[in-house]
Amino acid sequence: MQGQLHEIDLSSLLRLIEVGQRTGELWIDAHGLSPWQTRPAGLPQEQTWLLTFIQGQLVHGSRIGDRINRLQDSLQRLTVDFPEPAMVAQFSTEQHSPEYEILWLLLEQQQIRPDQGCAIVRQLSEETLFELANLRQGSFRFEQGTQLSPHFTTLPIGTLLRRLEQRLQQWQQLYPVITSPTQCPLLLDREAVQARFPSQAFAALDRWADGQTSILQLARRLNRHPAPVARAIYPYIQAKFIRLQSSQEFLETRPTASTSSQADAPQQEAPRIVCIDANPNDLTKIETAIAQAGYQVKTFQHTLKALPSLFELAPDLVILALDMPELNGDELCSMWRQVPQFRQLPIILSTESQDFLHRTRAKIAGATDYLAKPLDSDELLMLLEKYIRPVPSPRPVFSEVWRSDALQGKLGHDNGEAKFTSTN
């Protein structure tokens, strides 16, 4: 099994492996970088990820190139004698997943417990999926039969995808204050943060918020996912107690003066949405709800008038009525999917019926989702936030949900226990 990433999304690809109960290795080659990375001089244009499966469940996932560094980050919170460089080099030469073999060696030497090994594997695997979810260009191939043996744990695909969706939604809510997990927090006002953070959480920030340790690295060292770690420091970035700097791991050589606070950067343009509906009342309701939420919106009552404008407008999302007098929405959607520019464009078909026939028409046409009529504004805005970045809205920097007592556990060490399965 092999193909191109623009032909199938990550979720569908993993579901195929799960349904087929396949055992083997999934190699993903990215033609360029993840959208949140900047390529420095000397870094290869292509990057490769490796995911290993047994009977349709994930055993381990990693990115080729910095796997040992990631493992060392994950082990920092534990008292571990890491193998000598010569042995690490030998593992890297002989194994597809050297960091996995090193973990087993540490387990055999009783330097880590089985539950700690499982937690690290889960953490690194979920981090890998978090990266891959943002890739849009590249290729994949599945090599049947190869497997890691023995294995610490097996991770069900369905559970992983549900958690991944939750993490991506959490991450969208931080935009544009935080744009990349490779950004590095720098503590600016130590006293202000110390007064508001639990002592354990502050100790972690005081140690690692040095402007050189990325959110990804911080998450590994705390045995947490990057999304909740970023969410925990989000209000302090808004309050300018913490500043984000570009990651040295991916930073191009540039003058120091060019590094600026993300919080001080100008906000990016609101997403553009095109709405096409022959019913003027429905069109007005949709336009009003979208505009009040802060999005840019352009409306059309005729599909043929909308066609030439779509290329010029370059929308972030299209809401399209299924039943139209000139050209039905599913027919138009199917036509757009043949154009490379619109293959990944989120298209939501609005319909007065949610029966099987209408859902099937939307699915066959390649629609991303569908919206029931009469319009429910809350449902509409949920769909928009699901498929495009939300419009930032003013919020109190220290609201109840962000008070220091709510941060307990979000940035604290887990004292060696395997807590990565929690929802924090």
**Percent of the chain beyond pLDDT 90?**
5
Q: What angle do CA 280, 281, 284 make, to 5 degrees?
A: 85
pLDDT for res 66: 78
Q: Which residue has the tokens 């369905």?
A: 158
| Per-residue pLDDT band at 266 (split at 50, 70, 90) | very low
Residue 96 has pLDDT above 60, yes or no: yes
Residue 172 has pLDDT above 70, yes or no: yes
pLDDT for res 275: 92
Average pLDDT over residues 159-173: 87
Residue 87 has pLDDT above 80, yes or no: no
305-347 pLDDT tens trace = 777 777 777 888 999 888 888 788 888 888 888 777 778 888 9
17-29 pLDDT tens trace = 998 889 999 998 8
Average pLDDT over residues 231-254: 68
Residue 57 has pLDDT above 90, yes or no: yes
**pTM, whole model, 2 decimals?**
0.56
C-alpha–C-alpha distance, residues 57 and 323, integer Å? 41
Residue 149 has pLDDT above 50, yes or no: yes
pLDDT for res 394: 38
Which one, of 256, 252, 182, lies nearest residue 40 by Cα? 252
Name the helix (H) or strand (E) containing 277: none
pLDDT for res 82: 80
Query: Tokens at residue 246, please?
Result: 């570009």
| Per-residue pLDDT band at 359 (split at 50, 70, 90) | confident
pLDDT for res 156: 93
The helix/strand count (H/E) of the chain reads as 15, 12
| Per-residue pLDDT band at 77 (split at 50, 70, 90) | confident
Residue 253 has pLDDT above 80, yes or no: no
pLDDT for res 236: 82
Residue 219 has pLDDT above 50, yes or no: yes
Distances (CA, A) of 272 to 206, 265, 299, 321, 390: 40, 21, 11, 18, 11
pLDDT for res 256: 32
Highest mean pLDDT among 10-14, 130-134, 155-159, 238-242 belongs to 155-159
Average pLDDT over the chain reads: 75
Query: Tokens at residue 400, please?
Result: 């109840």
pLDDT for res 354: 63
The answer to whether residues 262 and 355 touch, using CB atoms and an 8 Å cutoff, is no
Residue that wins the pLDDT comparison between 253 and 46: 46
pLDDT for res 390: 57
